[in-house]
Amino acid sequence: MCPYSGDMEGDKMSESPSQIGWSLVTPDVNSASEFREIAADFGDPLEMLREAISNSMDAGATEMHVSFMVESVAGARRLVVRMTDNGCGMDRETLSRHFWGLGHSTSREDPRKIGEKGHGTKTYLRSEQIHVRTQKEGKACEAICNTPMTMLHANKLHEVHVREMEPFLDGHNGTSITLIGYNDNKRADFTQDNVTDFVLWRTKVGSIEPIFGIQPRQAFRFFLRCFDETERELPYGHPFPPQTPPIAELFAQFPLDASQRFVKRFPFPSIALHDHPEVRFDAIYSVEGDLAKRSYNPMICERRRAIAPGEPTHKYRVGDRYGLWICKDFIPVVRKNNWIRSFGEGSNAYVLLHAFVNCQQLLLTANRGDIANTEPALLAELEASVARQVEEVDQALKNADYHVLRGLEDEHHTVQQDRAEFERRKREVRRRRFLAYNGSYLWEPRNEAELYTLFVILTCLHNDLVDFKLVDYNTRASIDALAVPTSSNCNADEQCFFVEFKKLLERDVNHTLRFLRYLVCWDISQAVLDGTAVEGIEEGDRRLLEREEADGIPSYFLKKPGDRVRIEVIRLKELMKRKLDLEFE
């Protein structure tokens, strides 16, 4: 029984442990295991960069340079990451205790700062060597740590060597961090485009503060270089496209794709929660068409193109990135598209949204990858408030006739398609083969439907052209037509048989052959010679083409060895020439 349970007698409850013979136990921490787990908890290797940027800004830096290079280290090619800033730097105690220790953060008590857990620099442990140089108020020191993960996996604490050094910066403070062999030397993720995308979407450099008119507490310039690329400065603030003019004006300018270019923003600054009035949040909902997104985001892959597994690209689909992001410190943390209860038309309409909700009262997980540590009641009210805002945005779009715009586009597009189709078909008519016959025109068939039409016209004009007459035609059925002998009553069910129409007789027929009596084709493929096997869809449904000739007149049959029933093939092109002396010009 617990010594402090309610079942204890009142006089014993007042006794101190030392008075009744208890010994004091201090909980022990497996430090190596904790360091190892926290370092591994940051799944994306680029998260290291997010933590480094936050630390530099918390240190008051106004400039930061980051490079990812491949260099020869001890005779082997290694990924080398260098990060330098002009922040306040660290003294020896801060470097030893706060940088290398666990859970020590100088930013925790300052609400203006980003860091709060003291975990971020532990992502650096996924390196073969970490070298830190720092200078503060004219004094400099450095630290080196070799093979930290090797030691931690052996359940030993990594060793850090620290010493004072001569000042290496000319008259100012700052810190330089070099990581050798980071991320097991895997460098595919560190291309210029991919790192730039991460910086602008998942770090403080891509803060959404500017869209609310909030000025950062200090100017901050960020420079990036990846491998052989030229170093370039990334702009501060998350990218948003400019808003477009009113819908009527936009449609007049771009009648075919106005909705794809449409951009309209709906800001909700500093909104207080009803049941948690001390909690405020900022939200921005940017409604953007597909072309608008592509105008500023080069990482979106081509439309209608799936990204194959293992394909060497970091591009993504719109649905993989857009929707609703929840932020803290105005940095996106996690996407919550399930908070969007109804928006637009269709289940994937959320991709129209380029939306962010920032709340400083959210509690993040240790790796800053989720908001799951936040009080459930607060999260539930925030979600409900966001859902109401999304519905308000949706209604505003309907009131502004945005959905009508989509309809106008479809209508205009249909008209344009019809006009283009009309011109295309006129050009094709000029190239088609035809003949004047019986006061009208006949056209050489291009497909099965036109073959059937020509056959019906000819057999109506010449009822002795073939030995059967059609009594039913259905393109949705497995076999095209029912027929009876020419001399038969059309209602004589027992005399009905199947007739199939094919523009060109090929080796494969996508129907069963055993029920056919006739197969009407315009021509026979050059690959189907006398004695060639023609196969139906049933297993073993295989027949040979036989060519017979009587008085110089050829006939064609599909015959199965050992079967007396033959399928007669009517080659209409040849039949017209022989019996009617008709040939297309």
CB-neighbour burial class of residue 500 (10 A; exposed 0-12, middle 13-18, buried 19+): buried
Distance between CA atoms of 428 and 275, rounded to whole angstroms? 70
Q: What is the dihedral of CA 192, 197, 202, 203, to 10 degrees?
A: 50
CB 48 within 8 A of CB 38: no
pLDDT tens, per residue, the chain with 585 residues: 444 444 445 555 455 555 677 877 777 666 666 656 655 665 688 999 999 999 999 999 999 999 999 999 988 999 999 999 999 999 999 998 888 877 655 555 566 677 554 455 678 888 999 999 999 999 999 999 999 888 887 888 888 999 999 999 988 999 999 999 999 999 999 999 999 999 999 999 999 999 999 988 789 999 999 998 999 999 999 999 999 998 888 888 988 788 889 999 999 999 999 999 999 999 999 999 999 999 999 999 987 555 566 555 789 999 999 999 999 999 999 999 999 988 877 667 888 999 999 999 999 887 778 899 999 999 999 999 999 999 999 998 888 767 676 666 666 666 677 787 788 888 888 888 999 998 888 999 999 999 999 999 999 999 899 999 999 988 777 788 999 998 877 665 667 899 999 999 999 888 888 888 999 999 999 988 888 999 988 888 889 999 998 888 899 999 988 787 889 999 999 999 999 999 997
Contacts of 487 (CB under 8 A, 6+ apart): none
CA distance 557 to 555: 7
Dist. CA 451–CA 576, nearest whole Å = 13
